[in-house]
Structure 1
Amino acid sequence: MEYELSFSAADLAQTRFAVSPMWEVVTSFRLLNVETDPPLHRHWAAQVRPRLLSAGLDRGWLAALIPGAGYIADFLNPTPAGPFPELSAELAGIRASSPENVRADLATIAGKSRPAARLRLLHEDPEAVLEKVTDEIQTYWELALAPYWPRLRQLLEADVFHRARQVAEHGSAHVLNELHDTVSWDDGTLRMVRRQCSLTRDESGAGLLLVPSAFAWPRVLTRAVAPDPPQLAYPARGIGTLWEPRATKATDAVAAVLGRSRTLLLAELDTPASTTQLARHSGLSAAAVSQHLTALRDAGLVTGHRAGRSVLYARTAIADALLTPVGAGTP
């Protein structure tokens, strides 16, 4: 089935990009909510799935609202106010969802083999239950995405900057025509070949919001809720190399400044890890690792994220830049 989104000059002028944490939440949870491993994200999924099972998120609110296939509740993706919203702002937008919109989404979900008890509670008292939903989203974020967010955000921002440059060089029509093989632009109309979600001007407001996603591949996803602009989440460029090990060949130069132990820990943190895991891999004592991580965190080189009873540490973009050989560049 083909859907068409017509554009006036004003709609084209209001077309913009945004990097949305909530779109990464819904698309990544969707990937994890199927039995097979996602081919492009197998390494990430192998690390994250055990944490989610331990926290019971496989049978919580997100499992009720985000299926492995089919319709995703629109209220989970409020329209970002700017190009790079924080998760906290989007969670506030979810909590501010009108009961009418929430119940309309639940009516679409009804009869699609979701946990009926949870959906019934949400239908009866959206305001109270949305607090629980956003609390669970925050937990999911800390377990599944926050430790990897610097890497994910770099990929998504790079996509936005690339396409913004393409708009400047070739115009908006060129960029819209290259988003995805199911999307095409012709004579003021964006055409989409889709099987599940519609996207028409009658169902949404002016403009268009384009959202690159690391986890939407291989499809595009949409949100159309008037009076908001329609949203189109599409696979970001470079997903195939997202989880490849990052270059750390500049360790000798960094070690001369930070010391070899702290540089070793930074190199180990290509994948987020706990103090215990780092001690085992580095040969340092847990106490020494903890001391070094505190110093690295204070310097803005690592971040800590609560995962159950332990804390996962991850390198920051600053640390990645330090460990990248001069002239190697980044994607």
Structure 2
Amino acid sequence: MTLVLRFGRSDAARCRFAVSPLLETMTALLMLKSPGRHGWYLTWLRDVRHVVAGLDLALLNVAAPSRGHGPDFLWPSPTGPRTTIEDDLAQVRATDPRVVAAELAEHARRLDPRTVPADVYRALTGDPVIARDMLVAQQRLAWQALVAPLWRRMRGLLDADITARSRQLADGGLERLFADLHPRATWRNDELHLTGFRRGAVDLRSRGLVLVPTVFGWPNLGIGPTDDSSVTVPALVYPMLGAAQLWEPATQPPAIVRLLGAGRVSVLAETLIPSTTGGLAQRVGLAPATVSQHLAVLRDAGLVTARRRGREVLYSQTPLAVALLSQRSASRINQGADDPVVRPATAAKGKLHPCRNGCDDYDPSTRT
């Protein structure tokens, strides 16, 4: 089945990128509740389980089930590429109590009260303001335990994805952008076809589209809201480029470190995703001037290329660098393109997940 997003004349100009710390937090929570979903999160799971065990997330765990549909207000659409966790939580906290009451009541009807602790069920179905504030507090706890320790590096990788995708958009428009965004997204005839969702069509009606790269949502594709009458801008959540870099060991082959030096190797490894000097400096924890010096040497050695896009210069690994670092990296990039592009794996089609924006096969029109 296919969901079709129809673009009008002004929709292309209103497409923008955004990040959401809260989306990553909620998706990480789902990953924690379904640890067998993807194998490469196992190291992270081992690291956070003992931390989460001491936290009171009971209400949030019930409100965000790993199967089925949860309250929409817990998954606000991000506002832009500089969104902070405080921005996201402020959106949840600002939700109209009437909306909170309606969505929690609908969610409670899908639960078996015998499977939920009595005090948690009372909180879920009681005063909506108290429930909303409790959920916000627990979302903050989940953020601090699950995502905050990784956020600096995650944010650098998300920014690098946005930089690379923006370049694609500038070079070839929406057709180029969607050419390798996800195997289930196809652009043709001014429409974006998304397979694996309930059949239907959404007219964007000059709202545009928010594109949200995700780390914890890999390798899934999410979309919402898909209500054609909604005034909310739909958000398309897709797996970011190079997500595996976050989970792979940071160590590099000792021989390469001895050859190039640890700092230079760390910079080279990060250029798997086309990146600016500032973006690289943020991710490797070095001063921009130091990174610039490393890049000059790497470029002279034929290990990175530099390409100007507007006021920015993007640095990318060459095939020689890929071969030098590891054969495994070579299998993850698009050797035929000007720049290395990590292609996300095809997501399996399956049951719906509760999030509005970030989980595989989400379509609000399937709600019961």
TM-score (norm 2): 0.63
Q: How far did 1:115 drift?
A: 3.9
Once residues 78 and 120 of structure 1 are traced to their aligned partners in structure 2, the CA distance between those partners, rounded to angstroms, is 24
Q: 1:94 to 1:100 in 2, by over 3 A?
A: same
Partner SS, residue 249 of structure 2: coil
Query: Equivalences for 1:27-106 in 2 at 5 Å?
Result: 27-36=27-36, 38-57=38-57, 60-106=58-104
Query: Equivalences for 1:46-195 in 2 at 5 Å?
Result: 46-57=46-57, 60-106=58-104, 109=107, 110-111=109-110, 115=116, 118=120, 121-195=123-197
Identity of aligned residues (%): 29
Q: Which amino acid aligns with 2:218?
A: W
Which shifted more, 140-149 or 123-132? 123-132
Are the aligned partners of 2:6 and 2:201 in contact in 1 as well (CA < 8 Å)?
Answer: no
Q: How many residues align?
A: 267
Q: Which amino acid aligns with 2:45?
A: A
Q: Which amino acid aligns with 1:82?
A: G
1:22 and 2:15 equivalent?
no
Q: Which runs of 5+ in 1 are unaligned?
A: 255-315
CA deviations over 1:158-211 (Å, ceiling 9, x no partner)? 111100010111112221342211111211221212347988348x98111110
CA deviations over 1:129-164 (Å, ceiling 9, x no partner)? 111111111111111111111111111111111000
Q: Which runs of 5+ in 2 are unaligned?
A: 263-280, 299-303, 305-314, 317-368
Once residues 108 and 205 of structure 1 are traced to their aligned partners in structure 2, the CA distance between those partners, rounded to angstroms, is 31
Which shifted more, 86-95 or 5-14? 5-14
Corresponding residue number in structure 2 for 1:326: 294
Once residues 231 and 318 of structure 1 are traced to their aligned partners in structure 2, the CA distance between those partners, rounded to angstroms, is 26
Once residues 177 and 62 of structure 1 are traced to their aligned partners in structure 2, the CA distance between those partners, rounded to angstroms, is 37
Q: 1:30 to 1:21 in 2, by over 3 A?
A: same
Once residues 223 and 124 of structure 2 are traced to their aligned partners in structure 1, the CA distance between those partners, rounded to angstroms, is 23
Are the aligned partners of 2:24 and 2:216 in contact in 1 as well (CA < 8 Å)?
Answer: yes
Once residues 215 and 174 of structure 1 are traced to their aligned partners in structure 2, the CA distance between those partners, rounded to angstroms, is 25
Once residues 189 and 62 of structure 2 are traced to their aligned partners in structure 1, the CA distance between those partners, rounded to angstroms, is 40
Q: How far did 1:247 drift?
A: 5.4
Q: How far did 1:80 drift?
A: 2.7
TM-score (norm 1): 0.70
Q: How far did 1:36 drift?
A: 2.0
Give the structure with the higher percent helix.
Answer: 1
Q: 1:132 to 1:201 in 2, by over 3 A?
A: farther
Superposition CA RMSD, Å: 3.3
Are the aligned partners of 2:2 and 2:199 in contact in 1 as well (CA < 8 Å)?
Answer: no
Which shifted more, 237-246 or 86-95? 237-246
